[in-house]
Amino acid sequence: MTTRRIRGAAAAVVLAGAAAACSAPGGGGADGGAATDAVVIGVPTEPDTLSPLLGYGKDGNSKIFDGLLARDAEMGLKPALAKALPEVTDGGRTYTYTLREGVKFSDGEPLTADDVVFTYRTVLDEKTNNTAKSELDVIKSVRADGDDKVVFTLDHPYAAFAARTVLPVVPEHVAGDQDPNTGSFNTEPIGTGPYVLTGWSKGEKLTFKANPDYWGGAPKVKKLTMAIIADDDVRATRLRSGDLDGATLPPNLAATFKSDDDKKTYRATSYDFRAVTLPTGNPVTGDTAIRRALDLAVDRDAMVDKILDGAGRPAYGPLPLDDPWFAKDVERQQNLTEAGKILDAAGWKPGANGIRAKDGRPARFTLYYPSGDKVRQDHALAYASDAKKAGIDVRVESATWEVIEPRMKHDAVLAGFGSTGDPDFGLYTLLHSSLAGDGFNNMAHYDDPAVDKALDTGRRAQDTADRKAAYDDLQRALVKNPGYTFLTHIDHLYVLADRWQGLTTQTEPHEHGFASGPWWNVEDWQPRA
């Protein structure tokens, strides 16, 4: 949940979606959903910037740009701007990439190693407002070796480094003359990707045209429109009317299209979880007994069945059940009896009103969820209902992120996180004490030495078995001292007109819709015969 993206999602107003519904984003039926070589997709949010220097596309799948590497349908790494996977030497401290020949930016200028060096150095520059730059802190230096080789030297071995090089590469000859924070490149980008931005009406739509000179081959989908429609119901209505070719939808609305023969539903598993932050600085949520009791009080299976309509899995931690890094021995069921014993032993005694108290302080705290997010609202209300059964009073309130953000240090939040590619990507920023209160990183101000040690070991160790042992230790430590109550992992649902071939889904991160979805490989789609 990056600061820019989630703020934008919260700030989007239903009126903007309704206004956009007055006209087809592609400019009318023939130019929009009805065109045989055009696709119009409805998504709830838009990016704050289209510059990779500020974080756009850092996890891959940008349609405008390419990284040195990319991910395939199974999330394996494959060459993109690099002609092969990197050569790794010096005990995992040096990564050398050789660039693909003949790649050009959409303005016709050739890609060189200097463009790659410029991209990474600018992202790491302390003056660049990239909230994800800590993910590349391991880089000691990056240099060009001729026009076609790039050499990264790391401070220490980092097993997940290659996966970080899906970062999109930008042209130095354009972006190098601008302030990366305020320059026109943020809204008028130039890249090597399969599509070129042709227009961006903030709050309404982004339009792209196929890049005929794309190094991977000219796409068959010639025009791509991403319609920004904040309201779920409006997206569903426009999809049903034919104004959209596809849309991301919550489970209850996706289910209404099951009987439509001309539409197909795609379901993507994800690392995207919903959890309640339990701030250490709050005298109630900072109490380990309260945290453990809440962890045992929640009925995760009921949340999956009733809130997600089965489109998800219980979350026993930040890693999903089917992830190879998941520690199987941390699965646990609702146990109100045990929750009560933990609270009794810690001095939280039941009161006449059923709410427990300790030293005159009631077991009560406020839980915020972002306004307009029905799935989070339902999770928050179910959580409060379960907590009350254990004698803990959770008061649910909705607010915008502008209201929530300054309160995160002391009040609980129904949050969403989850990153793909490597366990380090999602866990380090969520849990490491060094990032406590760093924007939306470690929102709970969680601080556990055992967890920090496991995170550092998992980041630096080269042997997979050592890394697995570290992440197992981390997940067990979270059971003993949960800084978050993990609730569910959510499957992402998409409904699209069934007139293209080659659509697949990947395992997706928390952030989805704009880059993730069946359109992650839209450049490879083929029209049905």
- Torsion angle of alpha carbons 404, 406, 409, 415, nearest 10°? 30
Residue with tokens 């915008």: 400
pLDDT of 3 above 50: no
Give yes or no for a contact between 375 and 307, defined as CB atoms under 8 angstroms apart. Answer: yes
Q: What angle do CA 244, 245, 251 make, to 5 degrees?
A: 85
pLDDT of 5 above 50: no
Q: What is the pLDDT of residue 157?
A: 92
Query: CATH number of 1-46+202-266+494-529: 3.10.450.710, 3.30.450.20, 3.40.190.10, 3.40.50.970?
Result: 3.40.190.10
pLDDT digits (tens, 9 = 90+) for 252-272: 899 999 999 999 999 999 999
Q: Please name the residues in contact with 57: beta carbons below 8 A apart, sequence gap of 6 or more.
A: 64, 65, 67, 167, 168, 515
Q: What is the pLDDT of residue 8?
A: 37
pLDDT of 13 above 50: no
Strand partners of residue 357: 349, 362
CA distances from 371 to 377, 397, 489 (A): 8, 9, 21
Q: What is the pLDDT of residue 111?
A: 98
pLDDT of 182 above 90: yes
Q: What is the pLDDT of residue 160?
A: 92
- The residue ranking higher by pLDDT, 95 or 353, is 95
pLDDT of 77 above 70: yes
Rg (CA), the chain: 24
Query: Of 184, 180, 218, 225, whose CA–CA distance to 46 is shortest?
Result: 225
Q: What is the pLDDT of residue 132?
A: 82
Largest Cα separation within the chain, whole Å, is: 77
- The residue ranking higher by pLDDT, 511 or 432, is 432
Q: What is the pLDDT of residue 40?
A: 97
**Measured distance CA(440)–CA(276) in Å, rounded:** 13
- The residue ranking higher by pLDDT, 513 or 263, is 263
pLDDT of 56 above 90: yes
pLDDT digits (tens, 9 = 90+) for 416-436: 999 988 999 989 999 999 999
Domain boundaries, the chain: 1-46+202-266+494-529, 48-190, 273-490
| Strand duo 412-417 + 364-370: pairing | parallel
In the chain, % of residues over pLDDT 90: 84
pLDDT of 393 above 90: yes
pLDDT of 23 above 70: no
The DSSP result for 125-178, as a single string, is STTS--TTGGGGTTEEEEEESSSSEEEEEESS--TTHHHHTTSBP--HHHHTTS
Q: What is the mean pLDDT of the chain?
A: 91
Q: What is the pLDDT of residue 131?
A: 82
The DSSP result for 474-506, as a single string, is HHHHHHHS-SEEEEEEEPEEEEEES-EE-----
pLDDT bracket for residue 35 (50, 70, 90): low
Task: For residue 357, give the 3-state DSSP assignment.
Answer: strand
Query: CATH number of 273-490: 3.40.50.300, 3.10.105.10, 3.20.20.140, 1.10.1740.10?
Result: 3.10.105.10
Give yes or no for a contact between 71 and 77, defined as CB atoms under 8 angstroms apart. Answer: yes
Q: What is the mean pLDDT of residues 36-63?
A: 92
What residue type is 326 in one-letter code?
Answer: F
Select the highest-mean-pLDDT range: 279-293, 413-427, 495-509.
279-293
Q: What is the pLDDT of residue 134?
A: 82
Q: What is the pLDDT of residue 216?
A: 95
pLDDT digits (tens, 9 = 90+) for 217-226: 999 999 999 9
Q: What is the pLDDT of residue 61?
A: 86
The CATH class that applies to domain 48-190 reads alpha beta
Query: Of 35, 62, 78, whose CA–CA distance to 520 is shortest?
Result: 62
